[in-house]
Structure 1
Amino acid sequence: MPISVMIIDDSAVVRQVLQAILEQAPDLQVIGVASDPLFALDKMARQWPDVIVLDVEMPRMDGVTFLRKLMAERPTPVVICSTLAETGSETALLAMAAGAADIIAKPKAGLRDFLQQSAAELIQAVRTAARANVNALRPRTRPAPAPAPPRHSADAVLPAAHSHAMARTTERVVALGTSTGGTQALEHILSALPRVCPPILVVQHMPEKFTAAFAERLNQVCAVEVKEARDNDRVLAGRVLIAPGGRHMLLKRSGAQYHVQVTDGPHVNRHKPSVDVLFRSVARYGGRNATGILMTGMGDDGARGLKEMLDAGADTYAQDEASCVVFGMPKEAIRLGAARHVVSLERIAQVILQNQTAVTAR
């Protein structure tokens, strides 16, 4: 059976081009198009699609409102196809937090050429969305307060000026990789963390220019500091650094202190940033002082890097199938024997806090 698709976009040109692109794939079938969600609901009442391709800014009902309604009443995989602009990107991120499976960024000018050039990406996004765990896509309620972290000295809040204290403050690091379904999962985890927690490095597969808005939004809703990483940023307790879209992020060490290197380079596993690149650098410079966590996502990026972390003495985790939107990356890590533990999304914040003192315990 082909994957049935509904296209919702207020531009007739975009609807025409999207339909032509998707119908090139023999396993996809466009069962309807609509100029806004209200028209779409009338059509979907007769035949419900497997996947919806959804614009964000539309008349009568915007895409975010429709997405929230959809996920509350009848969860269905949604691929956002949104104009790439400063305000639009923030709106698209809100949509992903509401439960969208993936996002395809589109410019305001040259839409027809852009969409045709992005045909393979769009088709793959729809195929991946069709396999998504819709229950995991449901927006989660605000998590209950996390358990109190282990007792710390004042160094964990305000490092002393001498080098030895600084080294102890920055010695532990958590590396986290994710892809499809990761934006919503990351918000769930990071918003559950207190201000005092280990430094966290994140690779989330996301288009260029979206990671800055994503980090800014997380910074607004989390107690920890969240920022898009810049080259030579310090790795500090209570700080989360997110790899910028279109650049790789690596952990580096200078004496007793960690910092990140943000650099260009080829795509690795078809991704830039790549989880494997981050995890390999953490294995080299963090070793047994590090924790690696591989979460929901399509493909196998990060699985080999997680195995390198395990071999270097790090504690390693993979998200379980039931709580993943797409059980691809964690599944491959488990197959390789890279994950020492398999945990649900609900437990990952607790795992991060427990691993503040895990080095001395191992």
Structure 2
Amino acid sequence: MHSIINSVSSEPKSILEIANASGTSWESTKKALEFLQSLEVVESTTDQNKKFFKKHFLPTVGSNNTWFNIPLEKRDDGLINFIFDITKRIWVEKTGCKIGKTQMQKVVVNVNRACKLDLPIGRYLYGMICIKPFNQDEAYSYPIPENNQQITAAIQSAVNEYSELSIPELKIRHYGETDNFLYLAKEESASLACADFNKINFSKFCNSLSNMLIKIPQDELESIQLFVEFMSVSNSLLLLDERALLQTKGEVISSFNELWKAIATKLFFKDLSCKYSKHQLMNLALERYTQNEIAKDCISQLSEYVLDKNNAKCPEYEALKKLHGSIKEIKTLTEEESHKLAEESAKEPSKIFREFDLN
């Protein structure tokens, strides 16, 4: 995506010229340009019935210390800094330990809800987060908010509750508090994917995906379509024997993780869209597109393990490949061809050994 943007930064180019410059196919380039136009990142012009694209230079917006450089208003930045600083101190007083990033984000979400602060917050990889990451080593400056006593009391309450929980327990608690049932279902599927990889556990994993599917928001059609495709491939893998199934473990987990990133990135974009313009969310939108393509590629690679002798990752294909150095075409020999091969091997065995890479 960035290579396409860079290729049209200096001068207008046609789709074919952009595809050649960025090393992508014509169809992929066309699809990417349509998406970039919707974000107003590129604009098109027509000359002699031929369409050209160039980068649309807009005023730079955003912040260097937020997720995806999303701009943060001064009022929101001050409130977040205040919560970060007070929480950091109270947590150390309560536990004697430094607070972690996940714990801090859950406190911010809790305080935002309790005090109705309307901070820029959305669902991402591990539930609700504010758009500003927490840095343990940063000294946060801020004006004292008018409702500082209310906020401090809410922080104290959240710390008292959350400091007693482990990170996994805190995530589950947070998902329940924020009604993020999709995230609860995801935790179940993730734990099954990482369990002992055998047919019984993998079958449970496949069944758990149905629970995830029904909890994806109905208006997230692209996520639903991609998830159904992953479910279909996963269920097909159950036809493999135990040994062959084990070989798919790495790609199953990788595909599941990349698919979840794609879903979560879309949710983050959706939640923040009510507060920001497309231009302000440009980097997040690019990440959304990129992550979706990564998930598609992972699922496509995983599908190569499906039991089909034409698939390069099928165990039977691999067995044949070991017999013959490079399979270009597999065919059944006729009786005459079989006799001829036997005669040739008897006369000149070294030639046959070389042909089948058996030396």
Greater strand proportion: 1
Higher Cα Rg, which structure: 2
Q: Same fold (TM over 0.5)?
A: no
TM-score by length of 1: 0.25
